[in-house]
Structure 1
Amino acid sequence: MKVPENLIPWLVRVTGRNKVFLTQEAAKAHAEKVARQPRPFGPPARLRGVDVSMTVREGWPVYTVVPSGARPSGCVVFVHGGGWVNEIVRQHWKLIAQIAIESRTTVVVPIYPLIPVGTAATVVAETVDIALESRERYGDVRLAGDSAGGQISLSAAQVLRDSHGVTLSRTVLISPAADLTWSNPRIPGVQPDDPWLAVPGGHYLSSVWRGDLELTNPLVSPLFGDLAGLGPVVIFSGTRDILNPDASLLASNLKEAGVEVEYHEQPGGLHDYPLLPTASGERARRLITSALAAPPAD
Structure 2
Amino acid sequence: MAGWPVYHTAPSAHHDVSKIVVFLHGGGYINEIVRAHWRIVGMLTREAGVRCVVPIYPLAPHATARDVVPAMGELLRRFVEDAGPAKITVVGNSAGAALGLAATQWLRDHGYRQPHGLVLISPGGDFSIGRPQQVAIAERDPINDIPGAREAGRLYAGDLDVTHPYVSPLNGDFRRLPPMILFSGTLDLFYPDCIDLAAKARAAGVSVELHLEQDQPHNYAGMPTPEGRQARAIILRAVA
Shorter-chain TM-score bucket reads over 0.9
Q: Counterpart of 2:125 in structure 1: which amino acid?
A: A
Question: What is the aligned counterpart of 1:163 among 98, 103, 110?
Answer: 110
Aligned partner of residue 139 in structure 2, secondary structure: helix
Q: Counterpart of 2:39 in structure 1: which amino acid?
A: K
- 1:151 is aligned to 98
Question: What is the aligned counterpart of 2:16 among 54, 57, 71?
Answer: 71
CA 1:138–1:168: 2 relative to 1, 3 Å: closer
- Cα distance in 1, alignment partners of residues 8 and 112 from structure 2: 25
- Cα distance in 2, alignment partners of residues 285 and 268 from structure 1: 18
Aligned length: 237
- 1:268 is aligned to 215
Q: Is the 8 A contact 2:24 2:100 kept in 1?
A: yes
- Cα distance in 2, alignment partners of residues 257 and 136 from structure 1: 25
Indicate whether 1:61 and 2:5 are aligned: yes
Which protein has the larger Cα radius of gyration, Structure 1 or Structure 2?
1
Q: Is the 8 A contact 2:138 2:145 kept in 1?
A: yes
Question: What is the aligned counterpart of 1:192 among 136, 139, 155?
Answer: 139
Aligned partner of residue 78 in structure 1, secondary structure: strand
Residues 37-52 of structure 1 aligned to structure 2 (within 5 Å): none
Deviations 1:217-265 (A, max 9, x none): 1111111111121110110001101010111111111112211000001
Give the TM-score normalised by structure 1: 0.76
Question: What is the aligned counterpart of 2:42 among 57, 74, 97?
Answer: 97
Deviations 1:160-181 (A, max 9, x none): 1111332332011000001111
Gaps of 5+ in 1: 1-56, 294-298
- Cα distance in 2, alignment partners of residues 179 and 217 from structure 1: 9
Question: What is the aligned counterpart of 2:76 among 112, 124, 131?
Answer: 131
Deviation at 1:185, TM superposition (A): 2.7
Deviation at 1:105, TM superposition (A): 2.2
Deviation at 1:192, TM superposition (A): 1.3
- Cα distance in 2, alignment partners of residues 261 and 112 from structure 1: 27
Deviation at 1:102, TM superposition (A): 3.1
Q: Is the 8 A contact 2:15 2:51 kept in 1?
A: no
- Cα distance in 2, alignment partners of residues 103 and 127 from structure 1: 24
Deviations 1:148-205 (A, max 9, x none): 1011000001111111332332011000001111112321121111111000011111
- Cα distance in 2, alignment partners of residues 152 and 63 from structure 1: 18
Indicate whether 1:206 and 2:153 are aligned: yes
- 1:112 is aligned to 57
Question: What is the aligned counterpart of 1:258 among 190, 194, 205?
Answer: 205
- 2:196 is aligned to 249
Deviation at 1:142, TM superposition (A): 2.1
Q: Percent identity at matched positions?
A: 41
- Cα distance in 1, alignment partners of residues 69 and 238 from structure 2: 23
- Cα distance in 2, alignment partners of residues 260 and 231 from structure 1: 8
Deviation at 1:106, TM superposition (A): 1.7
Q: Is the 8 A contact 2:186 2:214 kept in 1?
A: yes
- Cα distance in 2, alignment partners of residues 72 and 66 from structure 1: 9
Aligned partner of residue 132 in structure 2, secondary structure: coil
Q: Is the 8 A contact 1:75 1:135 kept in 2?
A: no
Q: Counterpart of 1:129 in structure 2: which amino acid?
A: E
Gaps of 5+ in 2: none
Deviation at 1:59, TM superposition (A): 2.6
Give the TM-score normalised by structure 2: 0.94
**CA-based RMSD:** 1.4
